[in-house]
Amino acid sequence: MRTTNRTASENADAVGLVIALLVRFPEIATLVSHPNDGTLTVSFAVSKRLDRPSQAAVRELVLEHTRTFTAFDGEPHGALEVECECDDGMTFVRVTREASSFTREELQMLTALVAERFGDQLLKSPAVDDDFGDEDPAAQDELIEYALEALRDPSQQKSLVGFREEKRVLVYFVKARKKAKARARS
């Protein structure tokens, strides 16, 4: 039996690219890759608890904009799901997309849409001196493309989970689990 292991440099590259993506988009609270089903989940944190009608409105807003945006490409958008999870004084808006068709432009549109919708209520990571401020916009775009490509990698065996903690970005690898099939009953 042969097992396939990712090399340390490939893992380090993926981690570095996810960090760069989260630094570039301070509006994103978490980013999770799901290699088993080929999806990515991007989460945003809102500093208030949204009621059910507000959750439904946000869900429809994101779905409508994403479907319209992807229709211009002429490419099917694949998996698209929007969920809101509420806590005492917060709401997490989670958007799950098929990784293979998710683009930099769509990520920029989604981030801008959520930022516009929630304004100051959207929690953002505080800026750090060495953030992307002085870097060439074309270089920033290229780095985002590399990061998304790393997350799309079909040979990736572990889920990547990137999130913010204060002024830091943390990335973890989580062993991807295969979906269990129910056994037939006789």
Half-sphere exposure of 178 (CA within 13 A, CB side): 3
CA 59 – CA 51 distance, rounded (Å) = 12
Whether residue 63 is contained in a domain is answered as yes
- 2 located within any domain: no
pLDDT at 173: 73
Report the alpha-carbon angle 170-13-146, nearest 5.
100
Higher pLDDT, 43 or 170: 43
Q: Are 173 and 162 in contact (CB under 8 A)?
A: no
Q: Is the pLDDT of residue 186 over 60?
A: no
Count of domains for the chain: 1
**DSSP assignment of 146-165:** HHHHHHH-TT--EEEEEEEE
pLDDT at 53 over 80: yes
Domain span holding position 148: 8-171
Q: What is the pLDDT of residue 19?
A: 83
- Does 186 map to a domain? no
Confidence bin at 97 (pLDDT 50/70/90): very high
Lowest mean pLDDT among 32-41, 57-66, 119-128, 171-180: 171-180
Ordered alpha helix ranges (H), the chain: 8-24, 52-73, 104-118, 137-152
Instruction: Band the pLDDT of 118: cuts 50, 70, 90.
Output: very high
* 16 within domain boundaries: yes
Quick check: is 101 in a domain?
Answer: yes
Q: What is the pLDDT of residues 151-185, one digit of tens each?
A: 777 666 677 787 777 677 777 777 655 544 444 43
Asked if residue 115 is part of any domain, the answer here is yes
In a domain, 66, yes or no: yes
Answer yes or no: is 185 within a domain: no
The type of residue at 158 is: K
- The whole-angstrom separation of Cα 43 and Cα 79 is 16
Question: Phi and psi at residue 2, in whole multiples of 5°?
Answer: -110, 130
